A = this chain, B = another copy of it.
């Protein structure tokens, strides 16, 4: 059985097929994810730890159930999450921090770690700090102006709120609107990071603009924000895509030197694109579903998605499809189907030639459109709630 079949008894995915991919064949940085990403190799390369059976059991003991993104190893890697649980068990509530670079509308891949963060908030009763890095997107995208990235930040904030976060415990900050608070913290980080450090981690060179060189300090600042705001040490965990780990590796190196706790991390794999290659990306709108897409957009994009189907219906009925390479199955697996039995049922029927791509796509189109209909209602309501969530100086 392949990667999108969920085995009973052992919920961990067999990642071996990703091992066949030569290590040079992919790139993962905070600003680029391309090629066939080898997530096992990333753990070695970044020096993170697997979320192993023992840690999953420990989480399940506290939460009473495992979120499907943990069970399916979508959240698969961590740094110091055991320490976060140690502190939690001592009665020291941690805070969460995640965020988004507002270079466009939110797509469903972005929602993945946010949905997971919502689950963590509900289960652990903790505060979430959500950063919208409009400065980053301005600095790293030559053609983007600040008005645009700020406008997208506000749009993206609606998507966060629409997921149902507790307004009492959820704080959204837009960098340029909250810079008075962030900047003094960023300066402390900046004083302890030199060009060699950021060059080694991000691959910068002499042609990198000085804003980009400085930027990681702004992404570091919210790691220490709960401690600053509460006036005492607050452990922080960051659920985020593994592509963001380089930022926080630097943050962790600096933390103790400037009198703060190191942030812990929970890393997710990146949601794949609909064409079956690389990461879902706002820069490839045809293979990415945005929360602002119309039902017709969704239908058109999913209908054109890459699948593991055969050339003809006849052939597929005889030989079966290949769900392991199918973008539709990917979407279900990563975001749109919590129920393992349904995933496995479709997987088997595809393999056996009992379900054709058209029917399979229609099922997902309906599921996605149902989700987005509700989400859009949430977005509308969020417009009135924005000020309850936004942190301002």
A208 to B217, CA, bound (A): 15
A142 to B257, CA, bound (A): 12
A131 to B180, CA, bound (A): 16
Q: Which of A139, A142, A192, A210 has the most CB of B within 10 A?
A: A210
Contact A198 B217 (CB under 8 A): no
Across the A-B interface, the 8 shortest Cβ-Cβ residue pairs = A190-B211, A214-B214, A196-B206, A179-B183, A195-B206, A193-B210, A210-B214, A190-B210
Residues of chain B lying within 8 A (CB to CB) of residue A186: 211
- Residues of A at the B interface (CB closer than 8 Å) are 135, 138-139, 142, 146, 176-177, 179-180, 183-184, 186-188, 190-199, 204-214, 216-217, 393
A214 to B183, CA, bound (A): 12
Residues of chain B lying within 8 A (CB to CB) of residue A204: 195
Partner of A214, one of B194, B196, B206, B211: B211
Chain B residue, CB-CB nearest to A198: B210
Contact A138 B195 (CB under 8 A): no
Give chain A's interface secondary structure class. helix
Residues of chain B lying within 8 A (CB to CB) of residue A142: 191
A135 to B135, CA, bound (A): 19
Contact B214 A135 (CB under 8 A): no
Residues of chain B lying within 8 A (CB to CB) of residue A197: 210
A206 in contact with B199 given A180-B179, A187-B139 (CB within 8 Å): yes
Partner of A195, one of B139, B210, B217, B393: B210
Partner of A196, one of B146, B194, B207: B207
Contact A194 B217 (CB under 8 A): no
A194 to B212, CA, bound (A): 9
Contact B205 A190 (CB under 8 A): no
A125 to B337, CA, bound (A): 70
Q: Which of A176, A187, A194, A217 has the most CB of B within 10 A?
A: A187
The smallest beta-carbon distance between A21 and chain B, in angstroms, is 33
A138 in contact with B191 given A179-B179, A179-B183 (CB within 8 Å): yes
The smallest beta-carbon distance between A122 and chain B, in angstroms, is 34
Residues of chain B lying within 8 A (CB to CB) of residue A209: 190-194
A312 to B287, CA, bound (A): 90
The smallest beta-carbon distance between A298 and chain B, in angstroms, is 35
A198 to B217, CA, bound (A): 19
Chain B residue, CB-CB nearest to A199: B206
The smallest beta-carbon distance between A183 and chain B, in angstroms, is 5
A191 in contact with B206 given A135-B183, A176-B184, A393-B180 (CB within 8 Å): no
Residues of chain B lying within 8 A (CB to CB) of residue A176: 180, 183-184, 187
Partner of A184, one of B146, B190, B214: B146
Partner of A217, one of B180, B190, B210: B210
A209 to B179, CA, bound (A): 20
The smallest beta-carbon distance between A374 and chain B, in angstroms, is 36
Contact B180 A206 (CB under 8 A): no
- For this complex, 27 residue pairs linking A to B, each with C-beta atoms less than 8 Å apart, are A135-B187, A138-B187, A139-B187, A142-B191, A146-B184, A146-B187, A146-B188, A176-B180, A176-B184, A179-B183, A183-B183, A186-B211, A190-B210, A190-B211, A190-B214, A191-B211, A193-B209, A193-B210, A194-B207, A194-B208, A194-B209, A195-B195, A195-B208, A210-B214, A210-B217, A211-B217, A214-B214
